[in-house]
Chain A
Amino acid sequence: MRKFLTLICLSIISFSLNAQEKTLKEITSLKMKNIGALMDKNNDVDGYYFYYEVDKLKKGKREYAIKMLDNNLNDIATKSYIDEKNTILADSKFNNQALMFTMINVKERQYKLVSFDKKGERGKDVLIDVNKKEMKWLNLMVKTGNFNMLLPVDNKGFLFNYVKNNEKLGYGLKYIATDGGTTWDYNSPEDSEEILAINPIEVNEKVIVALEASRKSLFSQTIKFKVLVIDIETGKLLFEKEFDRENNPRLITNAFLSNENEVVLLGEYYKKGDNIIKAKSLGIFAQINNLDGKVISDNKVSWEDKIDKMMPTGLDGKDSNRGYVYFHDIVRTQKGTYYCIGEKYRKTASGAGIASLALGGSGSATQLTITDAMVFEFNNNFDLNNIEVFKKGKSRAPSLIDFGSPQLNAHALKAFGAFDYEFTQIDTDRDRFYANFIDYERLKGEKNKLAFKTIMYNEGKLSEDKIYLEKDSKKIELRVLPAKLGHVMLMEYNKKEKTLDIHLEKLNI
């Protein structure tokens, strides 16, 4: 996608008649540096930004332009931004009160949080000085795909999450209020003997739910997870809950805050002493806590006792074995039912990898074979109601470590984008969700086709919609980008005519 986008230049003038006009056109034709969607915590798209360099200025400065489109693809603002050469626009979010951009100034080693209010006026920049190591680690964390650098707090403020180089690597969580409230920092202890990282995963007008991960060293294969619940007004820790390996190992996949301000944690549970990144989980859980940290309920559903018995038989009648399921997201509907969205995978031998090793080359003898999308439905007591399978073509990804468990490889490969899952959008107003996948369909008697598939939940039912990403005409390249709820953005690039057609399309329920 990135390669495709760099081909597109924005031009401020559109006429070209002779040398002078050509020169003026060339000068005012700007190459885009990057493009992004402004997404909220439910992955709803509020708009899009295009970031490009406009001018070279004195003392190594540059003038950049940030062009913003609303979620209907209308050009609504172009703001000028002056900073050092090679300043990166790393993230952007909208909280209904303001827009915030995370700018990374590589030369000055500084993060700059730049905001614009709803009138388009620029707010006071928030500056955070960092060192090279901290920048490098932040970059790596972002690449894993499971890291919220900037999280909007609707109608209140923004949370900025970054890496701090303490005695060991730690974290900084900065809250910037946009409603006139207090701005605060919640940082990991500077003298911590463990490497610490934080990821805020849910927030409302009262609290933030964040996952804190700790490990002894970079090479340690044991990770401890803690759930931290922090007061949004003060930045004070309300409670923390540790799921330690010895007593209660759990992997938190998702969390949300109910209307009653209860913290609902969702994920997989393990046998006491199991390492969650290596071991096979015992099942799935939903734990409800109040804001004092007291457990109100803790419901578990076991693979062996419940899920395996309900696992549907494959279309061929053979594929009843579940293999492994990698859960990407867990959604709770307004009715209180839960939907776990995952993909089925197995560890298999890799013919190409074995051949390469036999010839003295490098590679992996094993691979993960990823197949169908699966949606598990639980009732409000977390009893398993149903499992639905959505057929999907096989994807294969070579194992990163041949001797590691499939789970360990799945976690590692997830960060490299090996799974077909893209993202899930949640529409709380209409009580719907849209889970998106990319699938390479192998069609009998037809050319295989790449398809964008969406599994949708509406009025208690799941359905599927798909958009083929290959047109009959080879000159058209089709890409799908996230859009406002229930929509996708289709980008059709005509390679021959070098034209780009962008349009929004509603998913078909």
Chain B
Amino acid sequence: MNFRHSPILIFLCIINFITAQESSNQYIPNNLDSLKVYLKRINNNHIEKINGSLSSKIKKAYKNRDGKVLESIEDSTYIFNSKIKKDLNLVLEHIYESNPNINPTDFSFFIKNSIVPNAACYGDGMFEINLGLFTQLESNDELAFIICHEIAHKLLEHSLKGITKRVALINSKETKKKVREIKRKRYGQTRAALSVIDELSIDILDYSKEVEAEADSLGFVMFSKTRYSKPAALYALEKLKRVDEMVFHHDIKIDSVFDFKSYPFKSYWLKETTSLFDTSEKINDFSLVSDTLKTHPEIEFRVNKLIKDYNVIREENKLKTIDYKYQDLKHVSNMQSIQFAFDLKFLDLALYQLIEKYNHKKISSEYYYSKMVELLYLTYQAKKAHELGKYVPQKNGFSDEKQLNTIRLFLNNLELNEVKKIGLAFCELIKNKKIDTHNLSEIIEFFKSINN
């Protein structure tokens, strides 16, 4: 057997293993127990290779992390969707084929239920990609670059080096001495401890910034061996920059969405309460410098570095070309991104996505109207049980996410009898728009009955 193909075969075996997990509940795979065994195995394989003076502490950190991942799976953090997985695997397969030096034996990619466009490498071979990444990107080319970036993290052992650095920092003679001194202090122990934590955190964050640029470089080297368009690396990063500033930036115009002839929008649904302080930032006499630092370097710096180091040239004319293969994946991800918000009762995220995706024609009007009625029904039930606040937080004046804040204000300000009336008004709207209400008959009957 050709060495070049053996990792691919192993990879394909893993794909079969992971995709076989899909079940009626897309959040908990049928073969959860064997998946746990698999994750434990790759974690152990990774741990076994760790040696050196601090190895026991580093191993402990990885074991803790493994435990948390397993808990997350049980908490419906991930989605096991065959369509997304299949499309993702095609991209992975091509990356591995183009880069035979990659050994994906212990690699496994999980799809996380999160609207935030992000991906992560856990170090032991586990990777996660947020649904939000699929929905924000525009092509397999862009997705391939992000994947190459994450694989680069693994090949460069950034996770292991990061944990090693952290463990070494914390166990250094200097830190131990500082901790001893703090313990001996009669006065001001907490402030002194906070100062040490701050110093340690700054060092750790500095390292985190360095490695992102490194992963971009190696990631681009791997990416450039694929058939994918090179400038896509820049476009992918730039899309992340846009969302880095604000994920929920679409003007949802809630006052027009919920303005009905039979029940007009009420301005007090968006009424805010007086705040204790007039400040745009949190006031904190105990704030740490490290709290203000970012984990990633500025995207602009990363884009310029790629252009400079690899002479990447933009192909503006190709920007308008639609990657139809990717659009399928994007469509499923869009639908799944809405669905997980419904399933986990994150009604604010569900509402934002419904309006945004409908306005951008990412979902059909039939889907939009039927899901909106379902959302109103769930809002009614959650309010009735005094549980809405568990799933939809109140508005946060310090958040940059103005649109999400507006939705939160709206949902939380609504009274039960107002949801009841909005629900009925929406059902009437659907009737007028001649939407197929076959699957909604129970909810429509419900709103009719409570309005009688």
* A-B complex is real: yes
Q: Which residue of A lies closest to B285 (CB)?
A: A80
Cβ–Cβ contact A20 & B171, under 8 A: yes
| A12-B194, A18-B171, A94-B276 known; A505-B187 Cβ under 8 A | no
1/0 per residue B409-448: CB within 8 Å of A?
0001111110000000000000000000000000000000
State whether the Cβ of B261 lies closer than 8 Å to any Cβ in chain A: no
Contact B282 A505 (CB under 8 A): no
B25 sits at the interface (CB 8 A): no
Partner of B274, one of A20, A96, A486: A96
| A79 beta carbon closer than 8 Å to chain B | yes
| A120 and B279 contact, Cβ closer than 8 Å, known pairs A65-B285, A74-B397 | yes
B183 contact from A23, A46, A57, A80, Cβ within 8 A = A23
On whether A56 and B276 interact (CB within 8 A), knowing A505-B386, A505-B387, the answer reads no
Which residues of chain B are within 8 angstroms of A206 by Cβ–Cβ distance? Answer: none
A384-401 interface mask toward B, CB cutoff 8 Å, 1 = contact, 0 = none?
A: 000000000000000000
B276 contacts A99, CB within 8 Å?
Answer: yes
CB distance from B412 to the nearest CB of A (A): 7
Contact check: which of B176, B182, B276, B393 meets A27 at CB < 8 Å? Answer: B182
Nearest Cβ on chain B to A347's Cβ, whole angstroms: 36
Interface size on B, residues (CB 8 A): 54
Which chain A residues border B274 with CB–CB below 8 Å?
Answer: 46, 96
Give, as a whole number of angstroms, the nearest-CB distance from A130 to chain B: 28
Closest chain B residue, CB of each to CB of A29: B190
**Nearest Cβ distance between residue A435 and chain B, in whole angstroms?**
18
Residues of B within 8 A of A46 (CB): 274, 276
CA distance A54 to B282 in the complex (A): 19
List A46-73 residues whose CB lies under 8 Å from chain B. 46-47, 54-58, 63, 65, 68, 70-73
Known: A17-B60, A27-B193, A77-B283. A505 touches B388 (CB 8 A): yes
Docked-complex contact B182 and A506, CB < 8 angstroms: no
> In the complex, which residues of chain A have a beta carbon less than 8 angstroms from the beta carbon of B189?
27, 55-56
Selected contact of A118 from candidates B191, B277, B384, B416, CB within 8 Å = B277
Whether A76 pairs with B193 at a CB distance below 8 angstroms is: no
Cβ–Cβ contact B190 & A68, under 8 A: no
Q: Is B318 an interface residue (CB 8 A)?
A: no
Distance between Cα atoms of A490 and B245 in the complex (Å): 33
The answer on a CB contact under 8 Å between A76 and B412 is no
Q: Is the CB of A24 within 8 A of B286?
A: no
Chain B nearest Cβ from A143, distance in angstroms: 27
Q: Is the CB of B197 within 8 A of A70?
A: no
Q: Which of A21, A55, A68, A503 contacts B188 (CB 8 A)?
A: A55
- A46–B274 CA distance with the chains assembled, in angstroms: 8
Contact indicator A78/B389 (Cβ below 8 Å): no
Indicate if the CB atoms of A47 and B276 lie closer than 8 Å.
Answer: yes
Query: What are the residues of chain A within 8 A of B42 when measuring CB–CB?
Result: none
In the bound complex, residues from chain B placing their C-beta under 8 Å from that of A17 are 57, 60-61, 64, 166-167, 170
A13 at the A/B interface (Cβ < 8 Å)? Answer: yes
Binary B-proximity of A1-21 (CB < 8 A = 1, otherwise 0):
000000000001100011011
A76 to B403, CA, bound (A): 20
Q: How large is the interface on A (under 10, 10 to 19, 20 to 34, 35 or more residues)?
A: 35 or more
- The reply to whether A78 and B397 contact each other, CB–CB distance below 8 Å, is no
The answer to whether B278 and A119 touch across the interface, beta carbons within 8 angstroms, is yes
Whether A509 lies near B183 (C-beta < 8 A) is no
Give Cα A506–Cα B411 distance, bound, in whole angstroms: 10
The one of B187, B196, B282 that contacts A75, using a Cβ cutoff of 8 Å: B282
Binary CB contact string for chain B from 260 to 287 against chain A (1 if under 8 A, 0 otherwise):
0000000000000111111100111110
Please measure, in the bound complex, the distance between the C-alpha atom of A74 and the C-alpha atom of B438, giving whole angstroms: 42
Given known contacts A58-B187, A74-B398, A508 and B384 CB-to-CB distance under 8 angstroms = yes
Q: In the assembled complex, which residues on chain B have CB atoms less than 8 Å from the CB atom of A120?
A: 277, 279, 283
Assess whether B361 is interfacial by the CB under 8 Å rule. no
At the interface, yes or no: A484 with Cβ under 8 Å from chain B?
yes
**Residues 109-126 (chain A) with a chain B CB within 8 angstroms:** 116, 118-120
B179 at the interface (CB under 8 A from A): yes
User: How many Å from the CB of B176 to the closest CB on chain A?
Assistant: 7
Residues of B within 8 A of A38 (CB): 276
Q: Check if B320 is an interface residue, CB within 8 A of chain A.
A: no
CB distance A20 to B394 under 8 Å? no
Inter-chain CA distance A367–B57, complex, in Å, is: 64
* B190 CB contacts on chain A under 8 angstroms: 12, 27-28, 30, 54-55, 63
1/0 per residue, CB under 8 A from B, across A292-307: the answer is 0000000000000000
Q: Are A467 and B394 in contact (CB under 8 A)?
A: no
Chain B nearest CB from A164 CB (Å) reads: 31
Q: Do the beta carbons of A76 and B176 come within 8 Å of each other?
A: no
Q: Which residue of B lies closest to A488 (CB)?
A: B386
When each residue 458-489 of chain A gets 1 if its CB lies under 8 Å from chain B and 0 otherwise, what string results?
00000000010000000000000000101010
Q: Is the CB of B286 within 8 A of A78?
A: yes
B277 near A119 with CB under 8 A, answer yes
| Cα of A18 to Cα of B387 in the assembled complex, Å | 38
B191 touches A55 (CB 8 A): yes
Please measure, in the bound complex, the distance between the C-alpha atom of A119 and the C-alpha atom of B398, giving whole angstroms: 14
Cα separation A77 to B282 with both chains bound (whole Å): 6
Docked Cα-Cα span, A20 to B416, in Å, equals: 51
Chain B hits for A76, CB < 8 A: 275-277, 279, 282-283, 397-398
**Do the beta carbons of B276 and A23 come within 8 Å of each other?**
no
Which residue of the partner chain A has the closest CB to B193?
Answer: A27
Is A504 an interface residue when CB atoms closer than 8 A count as contact?
A: yes
Known: A65-B285, A504-B389, A505-B386. A13 touches B394 (CB 8 A): no
> Judging by beta carbons under 8 Å apart, are A504 and B394 in contact?
yes
Bound-complex Cα distance A503 to B284 (A): 23
State whether the Cβ of A501 lies closer than 8 Å to any Cβ in chain B.
yes
* Residue of B171, B191, B193, B283 touching A24 (CB-CB under 8 A): B193
Contact: B282 with A63, CB < 8 Å? Answer: no
A72 and B273 contacting across the interface, CB-CB below 8 Å: yes
- In the complex, B175 has a CB within 8 A of chain A: yes
Q: Which residues of chain A are within 8 angstroms of B273 by Cβ–Cβ distance?
A: 70-72, 484
CB-contact partner of A55 in B170, B187, B283, B398, under 8 A: B187
Check A503 against B390 for contact (C-beta < 8 Å): yes
CB neighbours of B283 from chain A (8 A)? 76-79, 120
Docked pose: A24 CA to B180 CA in angstroms: 10
Known A24-B196, A76-B398: A503·B389 in contact at CB below 8 Å:
yes
A68 touches B276 (CB 8 A): yes
Residues of A within 8 A of B (CB): 12-13, 17-18, 20-21, 23-24, 27-28, 30, 38, 46-47, 54-58, 63, 65, 68, 70-80, 94, 96, 99, 116, 118-120, 467, 484, 486, 488, 490, 501, 503-506, 508-509
Q: Please list the 5 inter-chain residue pairs (A to B) with the smallest Cβ-Cβ separation, ordered nearest first.
A: A503-B389, A72-B394, A77-B283, A80-B285, A120-B283
A-B contact pairs, 15 of them (CB 8 A): A12-B190, A17-B64, A24-B196, A27-B193, A47-B276, A73-B393, A74-B398, A76-B275, A76-B398, A118-B276, A119-B278, A467-B386, A486-B415, A503-B390, A508-B415
Known: A27-B183, A76-B283. 4 other contacts (CB 8 A): A24-B193, A28-B197, A74-B398, A76-B277
CB within 8 Å of A: which residues of B? 57, 60-61, 64, 166-167, 170-171, 175-176, 179, 182-183, 186-191, 193-194, 196-197, 273-279, 282-286, 383-384, 386-390, 393-398, 412-417
